Amino acid sequence: GENVEQHPSTLSVQEGDSAVIKCTYSDSASNYFPWYKQELGKGPQLIIDIRSNVGEKKDQRIAVTLNKTAKHFSLHITETQPEDSAVYFCAASLTDSWGKLQFGAGTQVVVTP
């Protein structure tokens, strides 16, 4: 089955700096890669996703890149703000059974003023 590894496990950045989280996956057939943000006491919330026919996707301060050959994808947050502090999860699945999301272990991001 799919195995997703996520690094780093914790990330501390100064407000205004960029944050990068990296994930690798094992199943070359995976073709859907969402990123979720989880705030304390809440459920995960989708912030951006990318499919295998796209190499990069951007939404304001958030961008995701995908390298299918190397089987890795990354989340980039620019101009970080205190409200970006949360746990971020990457995930991977097959779109024909996309409900079976395999999540990474998560990255605790702390943005310090």
> Interface with another protein by CB under 8 A: which residues?
34, 36, 41-46, 49, 89, 97-101, 103-106
| C-beta closer to another protein: residue 29 or 105 | 105
User: CB of 19: closest distance to another protein in angstroms?
Assistant: 20
User: CB of 26: closest distance to another protein in angstroms?
Assistant: 16
Contact 76, 18 (CB under 8 A): yes
| C-beta closer to another protein: residue 99 or 113 | 99
| C-beta closer to another protein: residue 69 or 97 | 97
HSE, side-chain direction, 13 A CA sphere, residue 104: 31
Rounded distance, CA 64 to CA 76, Å?
Answer: 6
Task: Fill in the DSSP letter of residue 8.
Answer: -
Q: What is the CB neighbour count within 10 angstroms for residue 59?
A: 10
